[in-house]
């Protein structure tokens, strides 16, 4: 997974979902404090770096990133 291309914030899907590589930079009111890709159920990477997200097939998102589809891991 480490060699998957990283999702760009300018990618159309990323823009549609409000994806940011650093959750602390989002101004989206839907963002809840502490929420990021590493604690999202769609993320299957490690706690740091980048890893796969089910919403971005074939690409990697940042563990500390975020998007509006964030759903806390069960
Ligand atoms: Fe990150 Fe979850 Fe959004 Fe994927 S769905 S980009 S893991 S917050």
Q: Where are the alpha helices (DSSP H) in 1-74?
A: 12-17
- 1-53 pLDDT, tens digit each: 458 999 999 999 999 999 999 999 999 999 999 999 999 999 999 999 999 99
Q: How many residues does the chain have?
A: 74
DSSP class of residue 8 equals P
Q: What pLDDT was estimated at residue 67?
A: 98
Q: What pLDDT was estimated at residue 2?
A: 53
Q: What pLDDT was estimated at residue 1?
A: 46
Q: Whose CA is nearest to atom 4 of ligand 1?
A: 53
* Residues β-bridged to residue 6: 60
1 CA distance to ligand 1 centroid (A)? 15
Ligand 1 pocket test, candidate residues 19, 20, 38, 40, most atoms within 8 A of CB: 40
- The sign of the torsion formed by the CA atoms of 22, 25, 28, 33 equals positive
Taking the CA of residue 56 as reference, the ligand 1 atom at the shortest distance is 4
How many angstroms separate the CA atoms of 65 and 41, rounded?
A: 13
């Amino acid at each position: 997974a480490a060699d998957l291309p990283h999702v760009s914030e300018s990618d159309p899907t990323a823009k549609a979902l409000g994806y940011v590589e650093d959750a602390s930079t989002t101004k989206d009111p839907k963002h809840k404090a502490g929420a990021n890709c590493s604690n999202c159920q769609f993320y299957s990477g490690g706690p740091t770096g980048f890893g796969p997200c089910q919403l971005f097939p074939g690409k990697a998102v940042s563990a500390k990133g975020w998007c509006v589809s964030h759903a806390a891991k069960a």
